[in-house]
Amino acid sequence: MEPIIRILFYLILFTLLISIFRYVKYRFPHSNITFLVIAFLYRIPLLFIYQKFIPGDWGYYYLAAQSENLDFSFSFGSHALPHLIRPFVYYLGLEIVDMFFLFTFLGYLGILLFYLIGHRITRYTDKVKILGINIFPWILLYPSLHMYTVMIGKDPLVLLGIALCGYSLTYAGIKKIYLFMGLLILLIIRPHIAIVFLASLVVSFLISSEWNVIQKSILFIFSLVLGIASIPYVIAFFRIEEFSLTAIQLMIEVNTGNVDDATTFVDMTSYPLILKMFTFLYRPLFIDSPNVLLLEYSAENLFFLILSLNFLRLPFFQWISKQSIFLKFALIYSLIGTMVLCNGFSVFGLFIRQKTMVFLFLLTLIFGFIHYRNSRYNHPISSSQNKSI
């Protein structure tokens, strides 16, 4: 019976994938289906590489889901994973490679949603040109994004969660079902990211021009009261003794397995905040790379650093002030998320994995601003009225 179940499993995944491609083509006629197919196929070799050569928590999650003695009390974070995959592993009998395919598919949905976000930001043209070369959507194939979102673990689910939340904000009325689904995933897998997301969303509405003073005042008072009332529950939930940056940093380190004796450890204790943020987003660089894998990541980071220099151009703040709630949110979330996460990691391997949760929103800002500059250069009169999404 098990081979039949496995065959049905792959048939269902394949049918879902084809249905998604058809829906995207129908809903977004100018979308690049070729890229979406390539992006999916690109992930399959990485899936096998990760399973065969990179040990990690994925083995524990699978074995725990198989266990008859699994604790059935409700859990968050890493402890939630065995419960989530247990129906597939324990009851359906799917093997490790099957679960890798499932998580690869879920992570792919997150990448597809970020493609659609960029597609809308570029006004359905998929054109973000640097020196005459179009980098979107192909930049979304950068290796570290895919390498860490193909395995059985939290990263593919977090990618899907933040993608659903982000995509929900690209609509004028906010697609509440996508926002709810995304926040639910984040609350189960990485609750602190859900908190950062909600805080960033509140700040974005407070600084936007889309709400009037009365609405902003109500939102501010409600958020303040809710935030203060939630502090005792946050302290109890994260098992910290006090609500402070140091306590939160310790919590993040414990939950991610941060170790000081790692070969790529960087001591940021004495770094000012801005240098910690830079280190989290753009290191390792070539001077930090003792092996071939980190050299590849260094090449990625150097390219992204060069792209990020676009933010230093004078029109950026003038441009962002006129943009939709999504792009304002992308800026606020990138800043707040980086400030929180850069205080919780000291190992390059963790930088690379964890920064996906904020860096993709930074990339959408880059896409939006470069597209605006290109449009202004090509259509100097009409581009002054250009507004994203």
Binned at pLDDT 50, 70 and 90, residue 74 comes out as low
Average pLDDT for 211-239:
71
Tokens representing 301?
A: 């980071």
For residues 272 and 153, membership in a common domain is answered with no
- Asked if residue 2 has pLDDT above 70, the reply is yes
Give the number of domains in the chain.
Answer: 2
| Rounded alpha-carbon distances, angstroms, from residue 18 to 34, 46, 108, 310 | 13, 21, 13, 37
2 and 98 in one domain? Answer: yes
Picking from 159, 189, 219, the residue at the C-terminal end of a domain is 189
- Does residue 145 share a domain with residue 55? yes
3-class secondary structure, 168: helix
* Closest by CA position to 282, among listed 264, 262, 261, 307: 307
The reply to whether 223 and 110 lie within a common domain is no
- Whether 267 has a pLDDT exceeding 80, the answer reads no
197 and 184, same domain (yes or no)? no
Q: Is 32 left (phi over 0), alpha (psi -120 to 50) or beta?
A: beta
Question: Please, which pLDDT band fits residue 205 given cuts at 50, 70 and 90?
Answer: confident
Q: Are residues 131 and 268 in the same domain?
A: no
Give the residue-averaged pLDDT of 250-266: 51
* Average pLDDT of the segment spanning 212-233: 75
Domain termination residue (choose one: 130, 155, 189): 189
Whole-number Å distance between alpha carbons of 228 and 247: 17
Start-to-end Cα distance in the chain: 49
Distance CA 4, CA 93 (A): 11
Structural domain containing residue 224: 192-389
Instruction: Check whether 389 has a pLDDT greater than 70.
Output: no
Q: Which of 9-13, 175-179, 381-385 has the highest mean pLDDT?
A: 9-13
Most confident among 250-259, 282-291, 311-320 (mean pLDDT): 311-320
Which of 112-126, 211-225, 258-272, 338-352 holds the top average pLDDT?
A: 112-126
Mean pLDDT of 344-367: 83
Q: Which amino acid is it at 6? A: R
The phi and psi torsions of 354 (rounded to 5 degrees) equal: -80, -25
Mean pLDDT, residues 53-60 taken together:
86
pLDDT digits (tens, 9 = 90+) for 104-145: 999 999 999 999 999 999 999 999 999 889 999 999 999 999
3-state secondary structure at position 124: coil
Q: Kindly state whether residues 324 and 241 are assigned to the same domain.
A: yes
Q: What pLDDT, on a 0 to 100 scale, did the predictor assign at position 261?
A: 42
Query: Which of 162, 189, 216 lies at the terminal end of a domain, its last residue?
Result: 189
Per-residue pLDDT, 235: 57
183-210: average pLDDT: 88
Most confident segment among 114-128, 257-271, 317-331: 114-128
Looking at the fold, whether 42 and 73 belong to one and the same domain comes out as: yes
One domain, residues 154 and 287: no
* CA–CA distances in Å: residue 143 to residues 27, 156, 273, 359: 28, 14, 28, 14
Same domain, 267 and 301: yes
Rounded average pLDDT over 223-232:
73
State pTM to two decimals: 0.89
Question: Are both 178 and 207 inside the same structural domain?
Answer: no
Grade residue 259 by pLDDT with cuts at 50, 70 and 90.
Answer: very low
State the average pLDDT over residues 27-53.
95
Give percent of the chain with pLDDT exceeding 70.
85
Give the confidence band of 388 by pLDDT, cuts at 50, 70, 90: very low
How confident is the prediction for the chain on average, in pLDDT?
84
**Pair (90, 229) in one structural domain:** no
